[in-house]
Structure 1
Amino acid sequence: MIIKILGLYTKIRHYNVPASYRYFFRDTYLCQVIQWKYLIRDYVIKKPYKKISFSGEFTPDIAFALPFAYWHFKNGTLLQTEGAKYTSELYFFSADHLETFATRTTTGNYNFETPRILYSQNYNMRKWARVPLKEIYHNNIYSYHKPILIIANRYNMEWDGPPVSFLSIALLDELFNSYKSEYQIIYNRPRPENITNDNSDIYDLDEYDWIEREHPEVLLMENLFKQNLGKAKNFNHFQLMVYANAEHFISTHGGTGALASYFGGINILLSKKGPEHYFGCFTKLYPKFSGAEIHHAKSDQDVLDLAERHLRGKSLYPNQAK
């Protein structure tokens, strides 16, 4: 009944919104209404009671579930968290975190107990707190004579079709040639075995051997992980340690870009299509993760232009030499 009422309200109030997006407006109202029943426990009693379980995709996990859990931790009301494999280091503050889910699912995104799900017309969330991943995982291990530039790529199925927003080998070649003298470039495109997979197939871009042959100055994350000097417990933990030492990122649509936005500095994010464009996620939501500057690139040429504007000559800041 509540969903029907909110659906009618949304249809009347937001009649000019495309029908394909309107239900996200309704879902925002539903998330807000559900939180009403916790007013007394969250703001008056304030004792540990909250169990937060999330089995959805990586982006909504770190965008909504993780900051929601951190808010409850700071509020003194968090009891337990439950998530996918390799998430304990993300939920470092949880005294009782369970890694229950072997895979992430699309249906798991629709957890209306979180402040928002997927996309929203309003990202001013009350029960949401910035998670200090950079402060927690900053270290003296992954530090170099030159500042780090993380280039985080993906080559996945998108919307049940071929890859759309990815850094091609030709684009990588131009970026490497342009910035490897100024930055210590670290290239990251996780293998399927290193992450918890969802409904998107991961393809092979066949770039690893090419990078080692043509650009030996570029460090590969997977090679650094094999050395594992920081003794990370898993690849997600390792990513947090390396990213925490960086201030410059070039990333892509999805969880790749969301994670890169968690560590401050500058993130040039390639996204050629998606609901994120309509809802303004890259200007309204992603900067909230850490205060990072997010520069949305809609094409390969945008990536090059934004890099020239925001990375060229910007590497001269204090950085601990290795």
Structure 2
Amino acid sequence: MQRLMLKFLYVVAALKYSGIRRDLRYFIRDNYYSRLNQIRFVAKDYFTKGKYKVIDFHGEFDQELRYVLPFAYWHYLNGTLAKTISSTNTKAFYFFSENHSELYEKRLWQAGYDYYDVPNMTHSPSFSFTKWARVPLKSHYRNKQFVFRKPILVIANKYNVEWDKPPVNFLDIPDLDRIVSTHKLNYQIIYNRPLSSQIVVDNSEIMDLNEHGWLRENHPEVILMNDLYEQHHNAVDNFNHLQLLIYANCDRFISMHGGTAALASYFGGINIILSHTGGGMEHHFNEYDTIFPALSGAKILHAKSTDELFQYLSAYY
């Protein structure tokens, strides 16, 4: 029955989006099916409303932030959330869950396929916000501990394998030098590129950019998130908890394609996302104008090149 329904929904997607590439219609089909799947829970969600929903996910971090976490928060607000299950060090994201289990030590990108338990489960030209609620990470984690003389500018960089290829979306040392040199007078810059020992990794191997030592030597005024963690590890639950505390006090972000960009989009303000042309489904479905701003109301500026990123920095920062 599921197979027949998926075939039918592919035809619907092909008719509605005839101008879109054939292979991309599978994403639309899957989202259609995931929304239809919610019909099974109408009585439980809107009438009996007992705490029944168990949300279990260990796919990609980006998918969890964009689709799963807001779905879980909706069930919390609805009074129907029973339990959440995710990867190691995710409790801080699910602060609202009375029963959260960190069951998985590694994320598997394959776990996101055929995951039809949430109304939105993959890329799409449109999203359902019926059972999707903004998670107030900023207001919940705003604090007086990580406050500086100047407003914070977070550079959330990454340097890892993307789509089984060498790194594509990242800031190299010359880029970092230009950003820091230009903006250090107006902002307290906090640089964040987690090590593989600090987060739960998936199929994207983290590589060495050798920028941490370079920043310490050439721009000691920049605060490294890794150093903050060493200084405050006894006062925070884990690296993710520290990220949330820092991000909650920040209104200006530079982030990279993927989970890095999704997390920075949760905290309002302005988020410049570097996502080069030709990489990622977000481009095809215009998601930097839909799901990303929806995460918090942040102003999302999609830089398709490093040159465009610097143009945005000049205009907005």
Normalising by structure 2, report the TM-score. 0.96
2:305 to 273, 292, 299: 299
**Displacement, 1:106?**
1.2
- What do the CA deviations read for 1:222-269 (whole angstroms, capped 9, x no partner)? 001101178111000110001101011011101111100101101111
State the one-letter code of the partner of 2:199: I
Matches within 5 A, 1:211-290: 211-228=215-232, 231-272=235-276, 273-290=279-296
Structure 1: distance between partners of 2:316 and 2:19: 36
State the one-letter code of the partner of 1:137: Y
Is 1:167 aligned to 2:171, yes or no? yes
State the one-letter code of the partner of 2:11: L
- What do the CA deviations read for 1:284-312 (whole angstroms, capped 9, x no partner)? 1111111110100011111111001011x
Is 1:45 aligned to 2:51, yes or no? no
Structure 1: distance between partners of 2:236 and 2:161: 29
Corresponding residue for residue 100 of structure 1: 103
Q: What SS does the corresponding residue of 1:55 show, helix, strand or coil?
A: coil
User: Does the 8 A contact of 1:269 with 1:295 survive in 2?
Assistant: yes
Structure 1: distance between partners of 2:119 and 2:62: 14
Range that drifts further, 20-29 or 189-198: 20-29
User: Does the 8 A contact of 1:141 with 1:229 survive in 2?
Assistant: no
Q: What SS does the corresponding residue of 1:146 show, helix, strand or coil?
A: coil
Which ranges of 4 or more aligned residues in structure 1 deviate by more than 6 Å? none
Structure 2: distance between partners of 1:191 and 1:239: 13
Matches within 5 A, 1:1-322: 1-110=4-113, 111-228=115-232, 231-272=235-276, 273-311=279-317
Normalising by structure 1, report the TM-score. 0.95
The percentage of aligned residue pairs carrying the same residue is 45
**Displacement, 1:2?**
1.6
User: Does the 8 A contact of 1:230 with 1:238 survive in 2?
Assistant: no
Q: What SS does the corresponding residue of 1:74 show, helix, strand or coil?
A: helix
Aligned length: 311
- What do the CA deviations read for 1:208-232 (whole angstroms, capped 9, x no partner)? 1110111011000000110117811
- Unaligned stretches of 5+ residues in structure 1: 312-322
Structure 1: distance between partners of 2:248 and 2:48: 36
Structure 2: distance between partners of 1:83 and 1:24: 23
Structure 1: distance between partners of 2:301 and 2:203: 27
Q: Decide whether aligned partners of structure 1 residues 160 and 188 sit closer, same or farther in structure 2, where only a CA change above 3 A counts.
A: same
**C-alpha root-mean-square deviation of aligned residues, in Å?**
1.1
User: Does the 8 A contact of 2:73 with 2:133 survive in 1?
Assistant: yes
